[in-house]
Chain A
Amino acid sequence: MAWLRKLVGAVIVLGGAGAVAGWVLSAPVRLDAGTIARLGPGDAARGKRIFYAGGCTSCHAKPGAQGDARLELAGGLELKTPFGTFVPPNISQDRKDGIGAWSEEDFANAMLKGVSPSGEHFYPAFPYASYARMKPADIADLYAFMKTLPAVVGKAPDHKLSFPFTIRRGIGLWKLLYLSPDPVIALPGGTPDKVLAGRYLVEGPGHCGECHTPRDFAGGVKKSEWLAGAVAAEGSGVVPNITPQGGTKDWSEADIANYLETGFTPDFDSVGGAMVDVQRNMAQLTADDRAAIAAYLKAVPPHPNGYPARKPAS
């Protein structure tokens, strides 16, 4: 029976080692000192552009808010996804209910690493997998701009998730697979600055890929089908393919830029669904920014639609 005891012992040791490894691997990782040093003091005026590029208000404003109320970032919207219902929190300047007490370093750790000041993982419904590609200086500017926004009292309700998604620590393993500051699309040397600027806006702050790219079983975006369109994570319907093989293939760069500015497609349909808020944010950017986004969208690899063909009318 000695062999059995040894086997059991080995299993316990291995299992224990696996658990320890999993625990270690899933630990929240904060920014290194070098990145923190590059944050520097932010500029609120420049941060306003980043705020609209990042679309913060689309999820964090109170549902249905219009006009200046969109700068009251009290949270409370319900994002109903296959993983459960995510509720964007209060990120207003309230020191208790919002993020008014956060340091610039706390804010950078949230944006670039998905880690809260208390050292917990955020759920990637907060699109830090995209924001991780942002420049530290832009994070600092955004922090400075957010400091100018009003404090709103009141916590948003908690997420409503079911097991195993209730275990935040598991997100650490998800991050090992999907969190990286590297660009999604490698562009060759000599790529025009305009396209590179567009890549930064689309892949980083704009987080376009979060909705426009299909996801795998673990909820990570499939980089092999980047921007190919996807079944909408919320409700019914689809998010369109915006690669050069999608519905926008006949649009010129000027058409794309004009759509982002005015909400009109080249054949004068209008923007709809969740893109309405996005377009209103894009309209706040500069004409150069919209032109850069358009140039990048024309430069990405073409893909067939990342969602099933529409069923014939019944």
Chain B
Amino acid sequence: MRKLVLAISMLAFAGSVAVADPIQDRQALMKERGKLAGQLSKVVKGEEDFDAAAVLATLKALQANAEKFDAEKLFPAGSDKGDTTAAPKIWEDMAGFKAAEDKFLADAKAAVASPPADADALKAQLNTLGGDCGTCHQTYRIKKS
């Protein structure tokens, strides 16, 4: 019985390792982040009316997304191989990478703390957040196709 339990738990452990794919996880998180930025952009561009409550909800979702970003867990050693555009620089300079992500989280929190009153105010916030995307992607992502 003990052996069986041990075997099952080992199998379960192996299974969880095989299922957890940090590359897919981090890509999903980035996709969601892009989608949220896209929703805000529509408002900035005037394609959608400014609705303070909806905008705040999106900003909160952006903050929640940023809080889920755990660099150590999503970018473990060895996950530079495979179907990824992560730059080797991430592992050479993990502190710098985390700092870039922390800046995004801080800017998202700041936006939630002082919600924009109109589309122009949102535009300024989105410029800051979009700038964070670019700053990180400048150094820590490689274009492959």
Which residues of A come within 8 Å of B, CB atoms? 232, 235-240, 247, 258, 262-264, 267-274, 276-277, 279-280, 309-310, 313-314
Please list the 6 inter-chain residue pairs (A to B) with the smallest Cβ-Cβ separation, ordered nearest first. Answer: A272-B137, A270-B133, A268-B34, A268-B38, A313-B83, A276-B138
If A262-B41, A263-B130, A313-B82 touch, whether A268 touches B143 (CB-CB below 8 Å) is no
Give the shortest distance, in Å, between A163 (CB) and chain B (any CB): 30
Q: How far is the CB of A152 from chain B (nearest CB, A)?
A: 23
Extra contacts besides A236-B142, A270-B134, A273-B141 (15): CB < 8 Å = A262-B130, A263-B130, A264-B41, A267-B38, A268-B38, A270-B137, A271-B133, A272-B138, A272-B141, A272-B143, A276-B134, A276-B135, A276-B138, A277-B138, A314-B81
CB-defined A-B contacts under 8 Å, sample of 14: A232-B143, A235-B142, A237-B144, A238-B144, A262-B130, A264-B41, A267-B38, A270-B130, A271-B133, A271-B137, A272-B134, A272-B141, A276-B137, A280-B134
Chain B hits for A267, CB < 8 A = 34, 38
B117-145 contacts to A (CB < 8 Å) = 126-127, 130-131, 133-135, 137-138, 141-145
Residues from chain B with Cβ under 8 Å of A236 in the complex:
142
B37: which of A235, A268, A274 is its contact (CB, 8 Å)?
A268
Interface of B is mostly: helix
Q: With an 8 A cutoff between CB atoms, is B45 at the interface?
A: yes
Evaluate contact between A239 and B130: CB separation under 8 angstroms: no
Nearest opposing residue in chain A for B135, CB measure: A276
CB neighbours (8 Å) of B34 from chain A are 267-270
- Which residues on the A side are within 8 Å of B141 (C-beta)? 272-273
One of B41, B127, B137 near A268 (C-beta < 8 A): B41
- State A280–B35 Cα separation when bound (angstroms): 22
Contacts of A270 in B (CB 8 A): 34, 37, 130, 133-134, 137
Number of interface residues of B (CB under 8 A): 23
Best-surrounded residue of B83, B133, B141, B145 (most CB of chain A within 10 A)? B145
User: B143 → chain A, closest Cβ, in Å?
Assistant: 5
Q: How many A-B residue pairs have CB under 8 A?
A: 68
How far does the Cβ of A264 sit from chain B's closest Cβ, in whole Å?
Answer: 6
Question: What's the least CB distance linking A162 to chain B, in Å?
Answer: 25
State whether A264 and B130 are in contact (beta carbons under 8 Å apart), knowing that A239-B143, A273-B142 are contacts in the complex: yes
**How close is B16's CB to chain A, nearest CB, in angstroms?**
22
CA distance A178 to B43 in the complex (A): 46
Residues of A within 8 A of B126 (CB): 262
Q: What residue of chain A has the Cβ atom nearest to residue B127's Cβ?
A: A262
State A80–B36 Cα separation when bound (angstroms): 37
Which residues of A are found within 8 Å of B143, using beta-carbon distances? 232, 237-240, 272-273
Q: How far is the CB of A250 from chain B (nearest CB, A)?
A: 15
Chain A's nearest CB lies how many Å from the CB of B64?
A: 17
Q: Considering the complex, which residues of chain B in the window 46-82 have a beta carbon less than 8 Å from any beta carbon of chain A?
A: 81-82
- A170–B137 Cα distance when bound, in Å, is 38
A274, A276, A313: most-surrounded residue (chain B CB, <10 A): A276
- Whether B145 contacts A310 by the Cβ 8 Å rule is yes
Question: In the bound complex, do residue B82 and residue A268 qualify as a contact, i.e. CB atoms below 8 Å apart?
Answer: no
Q: Which residues 29-45 in B have Cβ within 8 Å of A in the complex? A: 34-35, 37-38, 41, 45
B144 (CB) vs chain A CBs: closest residue? A310
Least CB distance, A310 to chain B, in whole angstroms: 4
Shortest B104–chain A CB gap in Å is 11
Cα distance A313–B142 when bound, in Å?
15
**Cα distance A273–B134 in the bound complex, in angstroms:** 8
Most buried by A among B35, B126, B133, B141: B133
List the A residue with the shortest CB-CB distance to B36: A268
Residue numbers in A under 8 Å from B127 (CB-CB): 262
Q: Whole-angstrom distance between the alpha carbons of A280 and B143 in the complex?
A: 18
Residue of chain B at shortest CB distance from A311: B144
CA distance A247 to B143 in the complex (A): 12
A276 CB, nearest partner CB in chain B, Å: 4
Q: How far is the CB of B133 from chain A (nearest CB, A)?
A: 4
Query: Do residues B145 and A238 form an inter-chain contact, with CB atoms below 8 A?
Result: yes
Chain A contacts for B37, CB-based, 8 A:
264, 268, 270
